[in-house]
Structure 1
Amino acid sequence: MVCSLQLPNDVLLLVGEHLENHGDRWKLIFISHHFHELFLSLVYRKARLNSWRDVYSFLCAITNRPSLARAVHELDLSSWQRKPIASEDWEVLRDSAILKDTVQISSYSGEETAQWEEHLAKGRGDAWIALTLPLLSQLRQLHLVYSTPTPCLDRSMQRAINGERPFQPRLVFQNLREVVLYHQEDLDQPAAQESAENGSDKHSPSFLLSFFQLSSLRSIVANSVVDPTSASQNPDSDAEQSDQLCSGFSSITDIDLRHSSGNHGMEALITSCADLKSFKYQHSDSHLASHGFQPTAFYRSLTRSKQTLQTLWLDHYGDHYPFTSAGLNQTHDEWFGSLAEFSALQELRIRLTNLLDIRYQTEPTTPLINCLPHSLETLYIEGCEERHVGTLVSQLQTVLKNRNSRFPHLRCLDIEGAFQNASAEELGDTRASASDPSDDTIKSKIMQAAEPLHEHCDSAGIELHVHDRAFSQNHAR
């Protein structure tokens, strides 16, 4: 006798949810008609769209079956390939009833319709996705590739915030928690090259401020952001949006800005957050509008969040040029200021010259013990020059001696700098093997200078890592 075991749909769905690979989930819908109906929504939960063909198929599917639109929780365009649509393909697309109706609903005038068609025909991801956003009421994560300027997306975002057509006022992005923005030109070619070739800086997306107005949003990651409070291509537009973002307006708690330039400390973004918990910033002088890294400007902006900020990464592996549009680049080595009053700060990642005021002297004007908050758990110090190792070790020893009373939560110390032994090639020794182990070890005098610190950390139960950024493996004791 053959016994067939039929699992309840709820159990089958739980099994399907444990399949993290999208391809495995896709295979499920071809097993049977029952599995197709059961798992199709699960397949659409995370939609990865890499081209206009993907978006058009996706748009057709969610238009014909609205339940699939409600199933979408994550929309990912991080691998978007921008290619103009061939004229014969565009002729067919433009006559498509679904695309025509969607564009018509999203347009308020013939001029807007023409602009939609122009940007869609160019294969721009921001325009194609702007068409689908009004349909995705359950969206939780959005990974978007954009090209500047972004008129179609700008309009869509503003109409979403205002609850205007084609968005339903009560359903607009009510579940959206995380947004990641990629600049298309940075994916196509290095930003420095792009800026040089175009002769202008095009990395100031006005729509970034629109996302800060979404009450559901908690986290935003963006690359190539030029400070909205600095001069831009459309200063009136940016100023108008900045005025709309009064202090403490936004619900965003995590900001991560990569390869960006904050001439004014990203003040408009930081001060708009009522409860900022994490701020990560990577500077780049490759943008033509950059005046160089301005540590004191970030200190002024972040002071407003000193009671809530838990994680601060300031200029993590940033790019600093000798000269910027403002002239000689000297500000990047300025002292950030004391963090002692940042009462919630647990993780700090910062360059040594911004942590300690040692720009023109060997000893800091303010000792490290007076620069760190009582709440600190992890301290990662970048860019330590060999000549400053002794000073830093001495300052950290004082911190460790006062750990019980001043820094009881401290658990981990990282020191990063140009500590690697010179390679045989750099030394001009052609006899040495390319795999000479001295090429990937830290200089002995660096390890000797750090030895007292190792002893203090061992006795205190604190992790200590001394390493060169070129190493894939941290050197720990």
Structure 2
Amino acid sequence: MSLNNDIFLLISEHLYDQSDQLNLLLVCRDWYSIFLPKAYKTISVDAPKIYPLSLAVRKNPKIGTAIQNLSVDWYHSESEPGNDYDVDGLVETLKQAGDVADDLAAWEESLRTGCPDAWLAVLVLSLESIKSMTLRFSHSPYFLPMVTRIAANGNLSSPKPVLQLLESVDIWEDDPKQYYLANELLPFFYLPAMRVFTAGGVCEVDPGIVSLKAGTSTIRKIDLGRLNTNNGGNGFAEYIISCANLEIFDYQHDDKSIWGEVYTDFCPLLFYNALCSQKHSLRELRLNNNGATGQSGFDEDTKEFNGFGSLAEFHQLRELRMPLRTLLQFGSSDRPKVSLLEVLPPSLEFLNLAHYHEEDFDIVNKNLQTMLAQRERLPNLKRIEIQPYVLVMTAGAIVHSTNFRVQESTQQSFLPFDMACREMGIQFGFSKEGNCRLTTE
């Protein structure tokens, strides 16, 4: 008795190792046809494996059609010597995505010498079903320029859709001495199916907006919170304003813009000005609740951008995580310019006040108590968190957030407010995440 193909596929769902899935293809021709789409749906490779994968796709286009999720770990633009790289028949492929003759010649030469970035660009031209990409790399002289041309000119002259189905990109550089310029990655925003953009190691060094297409991007989520490695000297205005309906924005600041050369402090007002273009759609805002908020000492040009603005008209906002001094617009003063009730929208469900210092207790407590007294102003509020800047750790313990504790004095000071929250059905607690100063005991 033969089993239904759906049963075979159900069995394959329990094979988590990709090598096991690929081994199924070797059993017989029927199994090859059944399991190929599943085996190649999600592919992870490192730099030396980009060329073999590209070669396999050229020999069997069904593999390229099957790949929907591609993860490339630590590829680069340096050559991989010692192999015989087959570039026969690729000239026409390069012409589909090339720009000028000189670029094509350089691209072809880089393919012959085994440049992983050059081969990635060729590979992507054959992945008509690709929906998500995770890329960990630095310099990209071929792939990123190709994305730029695709975003500007549609599907180029390729007979297959190139990046037209791409929904999610996760691109990052974990070497602190390397970075992407923000405008290098902007073309991803103008691919037609994009929904989620995640990046690390991105900096804005040009204060101007040179290629803004306001309200045209389909991206719903921008995540620039990875490991606090991004520096938005212009508030990432190009990214934010380009979106038609941005729902989630996460940004964590790193003072370093260019290693050893340029340092830019957090400029909340620039982010606010850009985010105002998304009042109608923004649902979650995590703005530097875990990043650097102090003055680096290297940047004297950002003081005028220390302010913020009201979020009262952000009618879709459900979750807010921000430094309390940013939200209450302390600026360079020790006193707030506004109250929480003035700046929070009635739609809010979750509030995290980050970078709390004990000297701000009276201000914070007064604002929170006033919020409870006028509960009808925030009818949807379900949880409030305080994120202290100073945390306690037992001497000799491993430095990890699971070993951090909130100071006893901080916990005691908020006990009355905690009890008041419980009476009103609101959860209250402390967060131990993000940028902090540790003390030991």
1:9 aligned onto 2:5: yes
Task: Report the CA distance between 1:282 and its aligned residue.
Answer: 1.3
Contact 2:257–2:264, Cα closer than 8 Å, also in 1: no
* Residue correspondence of structure 1 range 159-174 to structure 2 within 5 A: 159=150, 161-163=152-154, 165=156, 167-168=158-159, 171-174=161-164
Q: What is the rounded CA distance, in whole Å, between the counterparts of 1:336 and 1:96 in structure 2?
A: 54
Shift of 1:225: 2.1
Contact map agreement 1:29 1:39 (CA 8 A) in 2: yes
Match of 1:88 in 2: 82
The Cα of 1:343 is off from its aligned counterpart by 0.5
1:224 aligns with 2:196: no
Taking the aligned partners of 1:163 and 1:114, their CA distance within structure 2 comes to: 23
* Cα deviation, residue 357, structure 1: 2.6
Query: C-alpha separation between the residues in 2 aligned to 1:248 and 1:176?
Result: 19
Aligned pairs for 1:121-160 within 5 A: 125-148=116-139, 150-159=141-150
The 5-angstrom pairing of residues 196-215 of structure 1 reads: 203-215=180-192
Pair 1:180 & 2:157 matched: no
Residue 330 (structure 1) shift: 4.9
Residue 8 of structure 1 and its aligned partner are, at CA, apart by 0.6
User: What residue identity is the alignment partner of 1:358?
Assistant: F
Instruction: Measure how far apart 1:246 and its partner are.
Output: 2.5
Cα distance in 1, alignment partners of residues 384 and 55 from structure 2: 53
Alignment-derived partner of residue 115 in structure 1? 106
Report the Cα offset of residue 33 of structure 1.
Answer: 4.3
Distance change (3 Å), C-alpha of 1:15 and 1:462? farther
**Within 5 A, what are the aligned runs for 1:4-403?**
5-17=1-13, 19-52=15-48, 54-77=49-72, 79-82=73-76, 84-89=78-83, 92-93=84-85, 95-97=86-88, 102-103=93-94, 106-107=97-98, 110-117=101-108, 119-120=110-111, 125-148=116-139, 150-159=141-150, 161-163=152-154, 165=156, 167-168=158-159, 171-183=161-173, 187=174, 189=175, 191=176, 194=177, 203-227=180-204, 230=207, 239=210, 242=211, 245-258=212-225, 259-288=229-258, 289-319=262-292, 322-323=295-296, 326-327=299-300, 330=303, 334-359=306-331, 363-403=335-375
Q: TM-score, normalised by structure 1?
A: 0.79
Distance 1:335 1:417 in 2: 21
Evaluate the alpha carbon distance shift between residue 344 and residue 388 of structure 1 in structure 2; reply closer, same or farther with a 3 A threshold.
same
SS at match of 2:146: helix
What residue ranges of structure 1 are gaps of 5+ in the alignment? Answer: 196-201, 232-237, 426-432, 472-477
Distance 2:354 2:290 in 1: 8
For 2:116 and 2:257, how far apart are their aligned partners in 1? 23
User: Following TM superposition, by how much is the alpha carbon of 1:203 offset from its aligned partner in structure 2, in angstroms?
Assistant: 2.6
- Inter-partner Cα distance in structure 2 for 1:96 and 1:118: 9
- TM superposition shift of 1:273: 0.8
Say if 2:215 and 2:242, in contact at 8 Å, map to a contact too: yes
| CA deviation map 1:168-222 (0-9, x unaligned) | 3x72323211111113xxx3x3x2xx26xxxxxx531534121111121111111
1:406 matched to which residue of 2? Answer: 377
What fraction of aligned residue pairs are identical, expressed as a percent? Answer: 28
Q: Go from structure 1 to structure 2 and tell me whether the alpha carbon gap of 1:105 and 1:276 turns closer, same or farther (over 3 Å shift).
A: closer
Going from structure 1 to structure 2, the CA distance change for 1:46 and 1:86 (only over 3 Å counts) comes to closer
- d(CA) in 2 for partners of 1:36 and 1:453? 63
Distance 1:45 1:161, change over 3 A: farther
Q: Distance in 1 between matches of 2:116 and 2:51?
A: 11
Question: TM-score, length-normalised on structure 2?
Answer: 0.85
* Residues 1:323 and 1:297: Cα distance change in structure 2 (over 3 Å): same
Equivalences, count: 427
Conservation of the 8 A alpha-carbon contact between 1:126 and 1:144: no
**Aligned CA distance change for structure 1 residues 14 and 150 (closer, same or farther; 3 Å):** same
Structure 2 CA distance for aligned equivalents of residues 463 and 26 of structure 1 = 49
**Are the structure 2 counterparts of residues 273 and 360 from structure 1 closer, same or farther at C-alpha, using a change threshold of 3 Å?**
closer
3-state SS of 1:97 partner: coil
CA shift at 1:9, angstroms?
Answer: 0.7
Which runs of 5 or more structure 2 residues have no equivalent in the other structure? 436-441
For the aligned residues, what is the CA RMSD? 3.2
Q: CA deviation at 1:101?
A: 6.6
